Amino acid sequence: MTGRAGVAWLFAAAPGIVALVGLVLPNRARRLAAGLGIAGATVALAAAVALATMGGAAIEAGRRLVDFGGLPVTLTVRVDGRAALVAVAVAVVALAVQVYSVAYLAHDDRYPPYAAQVSLFTAAMMLVVVSGDLIVLLVGWEVMGICSYLLIGHDRTLPEAPRAAVKAFLVTRVGDVGFLLGIALLGLSAGSFRIADVLAAHLSPARLTVATLLLLAGVAGKSAQFPLHTWLPDAMAGPTPISALIHAATMVAAGVYVVTRLYPLFLAAPATLAVLGVVAAVTMLLGALAATAQDDIKRVLAWSTVSQIAYMSGALAVGAAPVALFHLLSHAAFKALLFLAAGCVIHAVGTNSMARMGGLRRSLPVTFGCLTIGLAALAGVPPFAGFWSKDSVLAVAAQARAGGGAAAGWVGWLVWLAGLATALVTAWYATRLWLRVFFGTPRAGTAAHDAPPLMRWPVVALAVPSALLGFAGLDGAFARRLGTDSLVSFDALAVLPLACLVAGAGLAWWAWRRAPATDPVSALGRAVPVFANAFYLDAVQDAAVVRPALALARVVRRSDESIVDGTVEATGHGAVRLGTLVMRAHRGPLSWAAGAALGGAVLAGVAAVILVSSR
C-alpha cells in the first residue's frame, strides 16, 4: 500500500477509531470526548487537504477482505480528485460540527456518545467517499444510516425524536434494499465488487438498466429524493449540528456522490437517467414549494435541502457529473452554514418557530451576517457560491435540451424548466426566511444575543467558502479535479435564473412589505396547508405503506399463532384425545379382552386368507 493510500485510509480511520473509543467513554468524560471528536475530524481534514492538494494520479490500492465463493470482497481505497474534494468538504463540515456542538450541547449529559456518533458518522461518510469496493461502500452507507438514527433520536426531551429517527432509518433502509440488490447484480456481473472491476465489466444494457435503477432506489433514499424524501424534514428533531452534518456533507450528499462514482454505468443506461431526471424535477419543485410554507426555521432549510439535492440529481440526469459535484460542494458549504447559523438563532431565542422570531438583526449581528451569506448562496445571488453552481446546473440542462448527450432532450427540458421554477421559489422562501427572522418587530420574549465563540467561529469559518467557493469553479485545476475542463460557462440563457431570482425575492419582499407583521406565505392562500404538509405525501406514505405493513404484521402474527402453531398444538391435543378414545375403548370387562383376542385372531385369519387367495 502506498503512502497516499494510507493517507486516504486515514480519512475514515481517524474518526472511526475516535468513535470506537468515544463510545465506551463514561458520560462524565465530556471534555475528553469533545477533544477526541475534534481531533479525529482534524486529522481527517488534514489528511483530506493533504491529498487534495497533492494532486497526482488517482489512487487504487487494496487487499482482499474475504472471499464469498469466488466473489472477493476487497478493502480497496480509490481516491481521485473528486473523492479528495468531497472528503475535504466532509471533513470541514465535520470539524465545524464537532466544535460547534461543544457549545451547542453544553448542557447535555450524554455528550461522549454523541460526539462519538458524530465521529462515526464522519468515518462512515469518509468510507463511502474513499472506498473502491461496493460492499465496503455499503458498509459506510449503512453505518451512516444508523448514525443518523442515533443522532436524530439523541434529544430525549423531544417526544417526536424517536419516531423521526426510526423514520429516517427505515425510509432509507427501504431504498437500500434496492441498493443492495443493485450492488449484488453489479458484483455478480463483474465477478468482483471492486468499483474498478465493475466499471470495466461488460454488462448487457437490460441488466445495466435494472442495476442502476436499483441503485437509484438507494440513492433516492439517502439523498431524500422523491418518493423517499419524507424522512428528511422530520429528521429536524435531531440537534441542529446534526442537521447540518446530515444535510450538508454526509448523508444526503452520499447518494449523489455514489452516482458520480459509478457514473459510467449510468451514462450507459439512458432509461435510468430519464427516471433520475423526472425524480429530480419533481423533487426540486416539491421541496421548494414545501419550503415556502414552513414555520419551523429548520424545516424550511430541510425542504431546501431536498430541493437543492434535486438540482444535483438533475445535473446527473443530464450527464454532467462534475457540475453535480460542484453544486454538492457549494451546497455543503452554504447548507452547513445555514444550519449552524440557524442553530445560533434557535440557541438565542429558544424556539424553532419563525413566528416567534423577527427583528433579530440587531441583537445577533454576526449570525445575521452569516445567515445572510448563506441565504444568498442558497438563492443563487451572485457572486456567492450557490450562484455559480446552480447556474452551471441550469446551463448543462439547457445544453441537454437539444438531446444527443447522455440523456434525451425532453429530460433536459424538464430539468431546465423545473430548475428555473425552483430558482424562483427558492428566492421567494429564502427572502421570506430572511425577512421573518431578522426584520420587523421582535416577537421573542427574551433578550437574544449572539452565540458563544465556539459556536460563532465555525459559522464564520463556513461563511467564507459559502461566499467564495463559486470562484473556484472558474479555476481550471479545480474543474479538472472534478473531471471536466470548465465548470462555468455563461451564455444568454444565464439571465433567466437571475430573472427568476429577482422575481422570487421581489414577490416575497412585496408580500412582506404589505403586512410586515404577517407571514408572507399567507399570500399563497389556500395552497398553504398543501405546501405546509408537503402535498400530504407523508399521509400517503402512511396509508399506502406503513398501515398496510402493520396490518399485515398483525394478520401474520395471528395466523402464525392460530394456524401454524395451532396445527402443532392440535396435533398434541389430538394425540391425547386419541389416547382418551383408546382408553375409552378399553373401559370394558374381562370378556372384552377375550373378545379382542378372538376377534383379532379372526380378523387376522381373514386377512391372511385374502392375502393367500389374492396371490
Partner 1 sequence: MHPVIPYVTAAVLFGLGGYGVLVRRNAVLLLMSVELMLNAVNLILITSDATVAAVLPATGQVFALFVIVVAAAEVGVGLALVLQLYRVRATVAVDEIQLSESPVEVPEEVA
Partner 2 sequence: MRLDHVALLPAYCAAGTAVLAFLADLLLPGRSRPVLAVTGLGAVATAVAAVLVGRGATRSTFCAGQVGCSYVADHTGALVAALFAALTLAVVGLSVAATPQLPAGEYCFLLACAMTGGVVLGYARDLISLIVALETLTLPLYLLVGLRRRSVSGAEGAVTFFVVSVVSAAIALLGAALLYAVTGAVHFSAVAAALAAHPDARALPLTGAAVVLLLAGLSFKVAAVPFHAWAPAAYDGAPVPVAAYLSTASKLGGVIAIVSVTARALGPSLDVAGPALALLAALTMTVGNLAALRQSRMVRLLAWSSIAQAGYILAPLGALALARGRSADALSTAVAAVLGYTFFYVILEVGAFASVVALRGAFDGGQIADYRGAARRAPMVTAAFVFSLVGLAGLPPGLAGLFAKVVVVRSLLSGGSAWLAVVVALNAVVGLAYYVRVAAVLLTPGANPGGAVRAVRQWPVLAALGAATLVAVVVGFAPQWVLDAVR
Partner 3 sequence: MTALLLLTLLLPVAGALAAVGLHRRSDVAGRVAAVVASAGAFVASVALYWHRDGSGWVSTGQQRTGAPIAPWHQIDVSWASGLELRFHIGIDGISYPLVVLTTLLTLLCCVYTLWTVPEGPRGSLLAALLLTIEVGILGVFLALNLVLFFVFFETVLLPMYAVIAAWGGPARRAAARKFVLYTLFGSVLLLVGVFLVVAATGTAELTELTAGGPSRFAGTLGHGTQVAAFVLLALAFAVKSPLWPLHTWLPDAHTEAPTVGSVILAGVLLKMGTYGLLRVAVGVLPYGARQLAPALGVLAVAAILVGGLVCLAQTELKRLIAYSSVGHMGFVLLGIATLTTTGFQAALIGNVAHGVITGLLFFLAGAIKDRTHTGDLRQLGGLRERMPYLSGLLGYAAIASLGLPGLAGFWGEAFAVVAALRRGGPLWTILAVFAALGGALAAAYFLRLLRHVTHGPASPAGAGMACPPLARAELASWAPLVLLALAVGLVPALVLGVAHDPVQALGEVVLR
Task: Return residues touching partner 1 (CB under 8 A).
Answer: 569, 571-573, 575-576, 580, 583-584, 586-595, 598
Q: Is the dihedral of CA 579, 580, 581, 584 positive or negative?
A: positive
Q: Binding marks (x or -) toward partner 2, 390..429, rule CB under 8 A?
A: ----------------------------------------
CB 101 → partner 3: shortest distance, Å?
19
By a kind-dependent CB cut-off of 5 to 8 A, residue 57 interacts, out of partner 1, partner 2, partner 3, none, with none
Q: How far apart are CA 405 and CA 162, in angstroms?
A: 45
CB of 161 to partner 1, least distance (A): 47
| Amino acid (1-letter code) at residue 547 | R
Note the helical H segments in 55-204.
Answer: 81-104, 111-130, 134-152, 161-190, 195-200
According to the binding rule CB under 8 A, does residue 596 interact with partner 2?
A: yes
Three-class SS of residue 195? helix
Residue 565 Cβ, how far from partner 2 at the closest point, in Å? Answer: 17
**Residue 470: HSE in the Cβ half-sphere, 13 Å Cα cutoff:** 25
609 contributes a contact to partner 2 by CB under 8 A? yes
- The CA–CA distances, whole Å, from 542 to 355, 550, 551, 556 equal 29, 10, 12, 19
Q: How many CA atoms lie within 13 A of 229 on its CB side?
A: 31
Give min distance, CB of 191 to partner 3, in A. Answer: 10
Q: Which three cell numbers stand for residue 78?
A: 480509490
When asked if residue 540 is in the footprint of partner 2 (CB under 8 A), the reply is no
Among residue numbers 183 through 242, which ones bind partner 3 (CB under 8 A)? 184-185, 187-188
Asked if residue 578 binds partner 3 (CB under 8 A), the reply is no
Report the C-alpha gap between 126 and 233 in whole angstroms. Answer: 24
554's contact among partner 3, partner 2, partner 1, none, with CB below 5 to 8 A by partner kind, is: partner 3
Q: Is 355 in the site for partner 3 (CB under 8 A)?
A: no
Let me know: does 334 contact 374? Beta carbons within 8 Å: yes
| Residue 600 in contact with partner 2, rule: CB under 8 A | yes
Q: Is 552 in the site for partner 3 (CB under 8 A)?
A: yes
Q: If you ran DSSP here, which 8-state letter would residue 493 be given?
A: G
580 makes contact with partner 2 (CB under 8 A): yes
**Of partner 1, partner 2, partner 3, none, which one sits near residue 141, judging by CB under 5 to 8 A according to partner kind?**
partner 3
Extract the C-alpha cell encoding 383.
457572486
Range in contact with partner 2 (rule: CB under 8 A) among 79-87, 153-161, 340-348, 601-609: 601-609
Nearest-angstrom CA–CA distance, 39 and 32: 10
> Closer CB to partner 2, residue 445 or residue 574?
574
Helix (H), strand (E), coil (C) string for 285-336: HHHHHHHHCCCEHHHHHHHHHHHHHHHHHHHHHCCCHHHHHHHHHHHHHHHH
CB of 105 to partner 3, least distance (A): 16
φ, ψ dihedrals at 201, nearest 5°:
-75, 155
Applying CB under 8 A, the span of 31-39, 141-149, 369-377, 452-460 interacting with partner 3 comes to 141-149
For the bound state, the minimum distance from the C-beta of residue 116 to partner 3, rounded and expressed in Å, comes to: 11
Residue in the structure block whose three cell numbers are 468513535: 19
Say whether residue 128 binds partner 3 (CB under 8 A).
Answer: no
Q: How many CB atoms lie within 10 A of CB 158?
A: 16
Q: Give me the torsion for CA of 47, 169, 531, 503, rounded to 10°.
A: 10
- How far apart are alpha carbons 61 and 482 in whole angstroms? 21
Beta-bridge partner residues of 79:
59
Inter-residue contact 208 to 274 (CB < 8 Å): no
605 contact, one of partner 1, partner 3, partner 2, none, CB 5-8 Å limit per kind: partner 2
Spacing of C-alpha 103 from chain mean position: 26
State which of positions 51-70 bind partner 3 (CB under 8 A): 64-70
How many other C-beta atoms lie within 10 A of the C-beta of residue 498? 16
Q: What is the C-alpha to C-alpha distance for residues 310 and 276, in angstroms, rounded to an integer?
A: 9
3-state secondary structure of 64: strand
Q: How far is the CB of 561 from partner 2 (least distance, A)?
A: 22
The binder of 412, among partner 3, partner 1, partner 2, none, by C-beta within 5 to 8 A per type, is none
User: 137 vs 462, which CB is nearer to partner 3?
Assistant: 137
Among 14, 90, 97, 143, binds partner 3 (CB under 8 A): 143
Q: Which of residues 373-392 bind partner 2 (CB under 8 A)?
A: none
CB of 591 to partner 2, least distance (A): 8
Region near partner 3 per CB under 8 A, out of 182-190, 386-394, 397-405, 525-533 = 182-190
144 CB-near residues (< 8 Å, 6+ apart): 121, 124, 125, 128, 222, 250, 251, 254
Size of the site for partner 3 (CB under 8 A): 55
Minimum Å gap between C-beta 592 and partner 1 is 6
Residue 613 engages partner 2 in binding (rule: CB under 8 A)? yes
Provide, rounded to whole angstroms, the least separation between the CB of residue 608 and partner 2: 4
Chosen from partner 3, partner 2, partner 1, none, partner binding at 506 (C-beta under 5 to 8 Å by type): none
Identify what 549 binds: partner 1, partner 2, partner 3, none; CB under 5 to 8 Å per kind. partner 3
Q: Of 346, 505, 344, whose CA–CA distance to 432 is shortest?
A: 505
Contact 125, 140 (CB under 8 A): yes
Are 375 and 434 in contact, with CB atoms under 8 Å apart?
Answer: yes
Which of 298-306, 345-353, 439-447, 607-615 is the region at the interface with partner 2 (rule: CB under 8 A)? 607-615
For binding to partner 3 (CB under 8 A), which residues are involved?
27, 64-73, 110, 113, 135, 138-143, 146, 149-150, 153, 156, 159, 161-163, 165-166, 169-170, 173-174, 176-177, 180-181, 184-185, 187-188, 549-550, 552-554, 556-557, 560, 564-565, 568, 572
